[in-house]
């Protein structure tokens, strides 16, 4: 496995972007063309050409997220277990990011959807970030928390 080599950091409260060496070989332009910086905020185009602020997706105060957290409590591994057991992987075309309530309502999503949900639950009690990157030439997302990588 390649080492993670940061080449672009987004200073949004809930997202970081890192990369593996394959980004250097041409994947970076594909992702960065969908990320814009304006007035101190980062936006990403992930919904039919609509530009949304990246931080809008991680929602620790969303009522659906709060309901899940009330069942699990401040248990990192319990939160990860919940997402892994209750959200089925579904590949999407065009990198359509879902809000946590959408992922919970459909019980499915791809890696960024599961990561957004997990980070939303974890941020009710700890710092956690969705990391957008590249793995073996494909876009990937995971959660980082206090030096740990959590794969949902």
User: Could you state, in order of their start, the residue ranges of all structural domains in the chain?
Assistant: 15-150
Q: What span, in angstroms and rounded, lies between the C-alpha atoms of 58 and 118?
A: 9
Q: Which long-range contacts (CB under 8 A, 24 or more apart) does 90-95 make?
A: 94/46, 95/34, 95/46, 95/139
Out of 15-19, 39-43, 101-105, give the one with best mean pLDDT: 101-105
Q: Provide the sign of the torsion angle of the four alpha carbons 19, 8, 149, 41, taken in this order.
A: negative
User: Are 15 and 120 spatial neighbours (Cβ–Cβ below 8 Å)?
Assistant: no
Question: For residue 3, what pLDDT is reported?
Answer: 34
109 three-class SS: strand
Q: Quickly name the fold that domain 15-150 has.
A: C8orf32 fold (3.10.620)
Q: How confident is the model at residue 39 (pLDDT cuts 50, 70, 90)?
A: confident
């Amino acid at each position: 496995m390649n080492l993670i080599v940061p080449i672009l950091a987004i200073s949004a409260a809930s997202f970081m972007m890192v990369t593996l060496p394959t980004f250097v070989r041409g994947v970076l332009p594909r992702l960065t063309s969908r990320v814009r910086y304006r007035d101190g905020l980062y936006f990403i185009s992930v919904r039919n050409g609509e530009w949304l602020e990246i931080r809008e997706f991680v929602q620790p105060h969303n009522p659906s997220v709060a309901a899940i957290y009330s069942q699990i409590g401040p248990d990192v591994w319990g939160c990860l277990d919940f997402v892994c057991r209750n959200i089925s992987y579904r590949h999407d075309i065009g990198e359509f990011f879902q809000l946590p309530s959408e992922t919970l309502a459909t019980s499915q999503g791809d890696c960024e959807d599961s990561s957004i949900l997990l980070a939303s639950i974890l941020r009710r009690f700890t710092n956690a970030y969705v990391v957008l990157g590249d793995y073996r030439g494909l876009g990937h997302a995971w959660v980082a928390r206090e030096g740990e990588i959590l794969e949902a």
